[in-house]
Amino acid sequence: ITSRQIEAGRRAMTRNVRRGGKIWVHIFPDKPVTVRPTETRMGSGKGSPEYLVAVVKPGRILYEMSGVAENIAKKAISIAASKIPIKF
């Protein structure tokens, strides 16, 4: 899951809650993904770091909320889940 996807989910949740509660993000993208330029010949080293990802395994908590009614929290989490390419 990329840092952009994590941030998109967090923004969607924050927008849906509207100052009501507090949101914590429990994952951090700390693994760089390197990309080589297209049409480059083999060899000549590794590509430059392009973006950061977080490795997420089953059972990992991504976001946490408090101070919000349960129905609003479920709605916000489902909106955030649509921004992330993971099955829930």
- The string of pLDDT tens digits covering residues 28-47 is 999 999 999 888 888 888 88
Query: Whole-prediction pTM value?
Result: 0.82
- The string of pLDDT tens digits covering residues 11-21 is 999 998 888 88
Helix (H, G, I), strand (E, B) or coil at 68: coil
Structure-token pair, residue 60: 């990992």
> Domains of the chain: which residue ranges?
3-36+47-82
User: How far apart (Å, rounded) are the C-alpha atoms in residues 68 and 64?
Assistant: 11
Q: Which CATH number is 3-36+47-82's, of 3.90.1170.10, 3.20.20.70, 3.50.50.60, 1.10.3720.10?
A: 3.90.1170.10
Distance of CA 59 to the CA centre of its chain: 15
Are the beta carbons of 61 and 8 closer than 8 angstroms?
Answer: no
Are the beta carbons of 11 and 82 closer than 8 angstroms?
Answer: no
